[in-house]
Every structure is written in C-alpha cells, then in structure tokens.
A and B are shown apart, each in its own frame.
Chain A
C-alpha cells in the first residue's frame, strides 16, 4: 500500500510548498472557470472567452515588462477587453463575433510586442513560457489570497444576475419584455468571464485558459439534465483534472532520467479532452441504439398518438 502511494505521489509531493500553492490556486481557478464556462457554453460565447485569454496575455506580458507580477496585468487587461467588447457590440450575435475578433487581433499584436521586448531586454527570462502556458508551480503563496478574492467576486457577479442571464440566453426579447436587466446581466457576465480567464491564465496559461473554461462545462452539459447538476459536475471535473494534472506534472520529474517537470498545462488539457470524449459516449451509444431522428426521448407515444389521430381524421 505504502509502495503504491509512493508510486502515485512522487517523493515530497505533500510536503512541497509549491504543490500546496498550486493545489489551492488550481481548485479556485477550476471552480470559477467551470461555473463561468457552463454559462459561456450556453450563451455561445466560447470565442469571446478565448479572445479574453489573448487579451490577458497582452496584459500579463505588459505587467512583466513593467516589472510587476503577471496577475494584475491579466485581470486589468481582461476587464478592459471585456468592457470594450461589450461597448463595440455584444447585443447582436454578429456584432459580438466582430467585436471579439477585432479585440483579439489587437491583443495578440500587443502580446507579440511585449513578449519580444521582454525577451530581448533579458530581464524576464521565461516570460513567454510563463504568460502563454502558465506558472502554477512558481506562483508565490501571497497570490493565493488574491486569487481567492477574485474568484469570489466573479462567482458573486454571476450569482447576482443568474436568472436574467439565463432568461436572456434563451430569448433576449422575452427577457427584455419582462423588464429583466438584460444589458447589465450581459456586462456583468463579461466581467466575470474576464476575471475567470485571467485566473485561468495564471494557472495554466493565457493560451490554454479556454480549455479549462470550456472543457469541463461542455463535458458536464453532455451528461446532465439540469443547470445545478451541470454546474456541480463541471466544478468536480475541473478540479479533478487540475489536481491530477498537477500530480502528473510533479511526478514527471521522476520519469526517465531527464529530471525535468513537464508543463502542468499539458496534463490538465489532455485530461479535460479525454473527459470530454468519455462524456460523449453515453449519448453516442444511445444514438446508435435508437436509429432515426432520435430527438425526442420521452415522448414517442405522443408522436404515435398524433399519427393515429391524423390518420383517423383523414379516413
């Protein structure tokens, strides 16, 4: 038993302060990303989420260039980007896509410049790696509190406007006609999304933040029928994937003779992808078993009855 534990958890895993920080930050980031992600997937705003990751990268690399830690850069740029995207036009679906694309282009350009300047000036070695692919093992313990506070703010924002957000996702017209705060809900959600992506950028990198945002949520939506269950499942999936990724990255030091820690981000993203595929199995199997259109699951008798009525009326 002891041997097995030693084999699974590499030597010093539980004693390592870096692991403590990584596990704490990883849990907060995974939960915030999962909750935000479920709404992002439902609202069809995955592209906006990805763009905000690129905006965060610009902010993070800019912060490094100024000699700051990346987190304030990630968050500041993300919120500014979300505000601009909301301003340019998130009202209409098409406008939303255009706004996202325009902001994304500017952000990547800035990242390219900042990271180039950072690398050539030589003061910040590994900046590219840190910004694009995360720094969960090198984050200072002091950052944990900031991450927790930001996480709570993002979750509280979503909780405050959850119902108008849901209603306007289903139909902006119904929501507006009911007097629901559609504009405010959309804006607050964009801000929560920006914070969530910024936190995720810190953990697994700006470029990969989309994976933690969308993956667990998409997997959860495949296997659950109600929103609360989707949220819980997405959170559990995200936390499990993040922790497992941290463990595997830690263990990778002892694999072979290379003695280097492979990127956490790779493991997290690989686990999420595998989970998403597995989550699709039940539906795929059900579809194979039930040939034909296979949309209705619970009400085939009704359709049959309808057919019967139509036939009897015609005869």
Chain B
C-alpha cells in the first residue's frame, strides 16, 4: 500500500522494512513495513499493547529488531547525529526540578555534549524563537514541572525540534491532555510539518482527533501493521485481517468508530479505547 507517486516528489525520510521484534518470548511486532515522506503527518494508531511504543523505540535505535531494518534518509540508522526529534510518553518533570522551559529547550540543542555550557547569545536567540514557534513565550521562565500537561507538551516539542530534525516522533502525546489542549497540539504539529517539511509520526490509541490533519495512517494491531491513506486502511476488511477477528468500521458524524466482535455475538464489544473516546465525546457532540 505504499504511495509511489508521492515518493517521487518528496524525499523519503523514514523506511521501516519488515521489522519484527520479540520481547521475553512474546512477538510484539510481526513483519512491519511502511515509509514516511517529508512534510507528512502520519498517525501510528492502535489499541493499547499493539506495539506502538516498541515500534517507535526501534526507529529511535533504543530497541534492536530481531529481523528487518530501519532507514533514515536512505541510510541505515546510526545512534549518533541522527536527525530525529523525540517526545516520549513519560518525562520526569517534577515541580521541584530547577529547570525552566527555556532550559529544557536549550538542552535540546546541546544536551548530548560533554563539559559545561558557555554563555552564547546565538543559543539564547535560537531558544527564544523556538519557544515562540510553539507559542510558549509566556511561560518560558516557569519551571517545567509547574506547567500544565498541554504546556509541557509544547516545551517538549520545542526541545525536540530545536536540533532541526527531519523526523519528529511523538509517543501518545495526547494521552494526558484534555480535548482542547490536544487539538492545539495537533494543529501546532500539522503546521510545523507543513512549514518546515518535517515528517511527523505520532502514536495514539484514538485516531479521531487526528483525522483533520493526518496524511497517512499506520494501523497496528496484534503486532501487524497496515499503512496508507486513512480511508484505505481503516476499513472493516483491512482491520479484520489485522486483528484476526471480525471488526466493523462505522462512520458517525465524521468520526470513525472501530467496533470489534464476531458476527453472531449477542452484544458486539466496542474496542475499549474507542468506547472511552465515544463516551468522552458524547457531551461535545451533543452541544455541537
């Protein structure tokens, strides 16, 4: 399902080729392949435990695949000087930490260097403009631990982007955000991907918030993946194949619901995360 016409126009940033991973005897990823092009916003979608974090760790080089390989900009990935920005799911940002937003962003520039940092006006300027780009100027001097989830997310994105990566990976950035903060972060990422021609690969267990901006989807279920444009991948036929049991895909008021359950079951089970999202969206849909 690779989109060849597009690859010819925009450079290929990431190629994941037949990657399989087993952890503690359990197969986490099974022959996963997909590509990501510059300026594209790709959603890595799947239920909890589908292997999203593991796949991101393989791309980052933090997890070695049993078979298969990862290419960044056409090169086999190397841990040094790789053009990847990363926003992990969990960051230890205690309110006691004497780290301001601007300090964390500065660490994105030189956090891997030895020795003590010397004062530099150029760096201060770069940090300021990066904070401005993610609309974080007004809390630049606040301790990162004292910021709200959405604000922290912006600072972490600035931290990841300041080294000018070609690929930005985000692990469940929406998991702890309210609906509005989530939409703001997504809009910000879509703008950055477009303006700076950065490829964004974002994992989420819920795809609906991403539908307006997502160019492509990589859907993970049971360790296997299907990738391509959303309307071609998120279909009952494809997902039934991935999940290994019958799955219906329902379109309701522009939202997508993935409903699992074998035909003939008395009460079809709605996928947990999706049911949660549907419930959360209830009042909003009613109000709209």
Contacts and interface: CB of A to CB of B under 8 A. Distances in A.
A95 interface: no
Nearest to B53: A173
B81 A179 contact: yes
Contacts, number: 128
Nearest to A164: B112
A226 B98 contact: yes
A183 B62 CA distance: 13
Interface in A259-312: 295-299, 302-303, 306, 309-310
A230 B96 CA distance: 11
B112 A179 contact: yes
A177 B114 contact: no
B206 interface: no
A299 B111 contact: no
Interface stretch (A4-12, A48-56, A76-84, A154-162): A154-162
4 A-B pairs with least C-beta separation: A167-B111, A180-B112, A314-B287, A177-B60
A170 B93 contact: yes
Contacts of B62: 173, 176-177
Interface in B259-288: 283-284, 287
Interface of B: 57, 60-62, 79-82, 84, 86, 88, 90-100, 103-104, 107, 110-117, 138-139, 141-143, 146-148, 151, 159-160, 163, 180-181, 283-284, 287
B100 A225 contact: yes
A224 interface: yes
B112 A310 contact: no
A227 B91 contact: no
A117 B20 CA distance: 59
Given A179-B79, A298-B142, A170 B104 contact: yes
- Taking residues whose C-beta sits less than 8 angstroms from the other chain, chain A's interface range is 35 or more
Contact of A174 (B61, B86, B117): B86
A124 interface: no
A179 B82 CA distance: 8
A230 to B, nearest CB: 5
Contacts of A169: 92
A173 B170 CA distance: 12
Given A177-B60, A179-B80, A227-B99, A296 B112 contact: no
B280 to A, nearest CB: 14
Given A160-B114, A162-B116, A163-B115, 13 more contacts: A42-B98, A166-B107, A170-B92, A170-B104, A174-B160, A175-B112, A177-B82, A179-B80, A181-B112, A181-B114, A298-B138, A299-B139, A310-B180
